[in-house]
Amino acid sequence: MGNPWIRNALVVLVLLSFGAYFVLVQEDTRSEGLQYVDLSGPRESGERGAPPRVEIPPPFEPGANPEDEGAARNEFSIPSLRLVVRGRVVDAQGKPLAGMGVQRAHAFLPEARTESGPEGRFEFAIEEPQGELTASGAGWILIGGERYIDPERDDDYLLVLAPAVEFRGRVLDARGAPVSDASLFAIPPGDALVLFGLVAPPMEHESQRGWSGRDGSFRLGPVPYLGGGRIEVSAPGASPVEFPQPADPAQPFQLVIGER
């Protein structure tokens, strides 16, 4: 380091290095290079260089006027659809039935219940226009009608009920011996709803099916009691046989099937 020439050369190299550094830093501040981003938050509006403020409106609330200053908005708000369901409950002859319980049935929607009035009429409101209407009452069973809720429907629904009875008796073979494990099915007349312009057959209930016990005895019910109804009996080794419903369902009766 005692040589002045070498010392002067080193000083020149250091100055050139600093000069190159400042040139490069200046290039990076241009638009195509790195830029400084202020993350310290918005400054006062009067401060020089402060970024513009962005006002975010609050969520929309149903019923608010969207043109009012500060009105809340929410793009996910969906108004509920409230539907009024009206209809009638009648028997198989078209006579109004009062005091029948009517409800909307659905797998997961809440039930809506009401009761038919003096003229068999009912009315209730639901928010989800889906499901099926059912009706029941002491001594009555639903056999059909216009039961499926339609949000586009604007006329009355119809629910048709029939007297509910219980059949009991015994199944015997041609020799008078009891027949066990015979299958029984109470069949309502297929034209029970034609009076109302409905060509669909009456509803089928689980209570309309049964089996005879070891002594041939059976019980079916509650089942709809309608003129023209039948009871079908089938057993292993014997052909199915149909019998008319008894005139007095309160009395036990016998059903005799052929040879097995």
Model confidence at 199: pLDDT above 70? yes
What does the pLDDT look like over 22-33, one tens digit per residue? Answer: 555 555 545 454
What does the pLDDT look like over 208-238, one tens digit per residue? Answer: 999 999 999 999 999 999 999 999 999 988 8
pLDDT of residue 16: 73
* Residue 204 belongs to a domain: yes
pLDDT of residue 138: 94
The total number of structural domains that make up the chain:
2
User: At 62, is the pLDDT very low, low, confident or very high (cuts 50, 70, 90)?
Assistant: very low
Averaged pLDDT of the chain? 81
Q: Which of 132, 161, 190 is the last residue of a domain?
A: 161
What does the pLDDT look like over 9-51, one tens digit per residue? Answer: 777 677 777 666 655 555 554 545 445 445 555 555 444 555 5
Q: Which of 161, 190, 214 is the last residue of a domain?
A: 161
Q: Which two tokens stand for residue 226?
A: 């309608």
pLDDT of residue 71: 42
What does the pLDDT look like over 138-171, one tens digit per residue? Answer: 999 999 999 999 988 889 999 999 999 999 999 9
What does the pLDDT look like over 68-127, one tens digit per residue? Answer: 444 444 454 444 567 889 999 999 999 999 999 999 988 888 888 999 998 999 999 988
Residues 191 and 249 in one domain: yes
pLDDT of residue 204: 93
Residues 135 and 173 in one domain: no
Pairing between strand 140-146 and 157-172? antiparallel
Q: Which of 139, 161, 183 is the last residue of a domain?
A: 161
| Nearest-angstrom CA–CA distance, 113 and 110 | 10
What does the pLDDT look like over 167-197, one tens digit per residue? Answer: 999 999 989 999 999 999 999 999 999 999 9
Domain enclosing residue 172, as ranges:
166-256
* Residue 244 belongs to a domain: yes
Write a three-state SS string for the chain. Answer: CCCHHHHHHHHHHHHHHHHHHHHHHHHHCCCCCCCCCCCCCCCCCCCCCCCCCCCCCCCECCCCCCCCCCCCECCCCCCCCCEEEEEEEEECCCCECCCCEEEEECCCCCCEEEECCCCCEEEEEECCCCCEEEEEECCEEEEEEECECCCCCCCCEEEEEEEEEEEEEEEECCCCCECCCCEEEEECCCCCCHHHCCCCCCCCCHHHEEECCCCCEEEEEEEECCCCCEEEEEECCEEEEEEECCCCCCCCEEEECCCC
The domain spanning residue 143 has which CATH number? 2.60.40.1120
* Residue 118 belongs to a domain: yes
pLDDT of residue 68: 46
Residues 193 and 218 in one domain: yes
Pick the closest to residue 145 from 195, 83, 207 (CA basis). 195
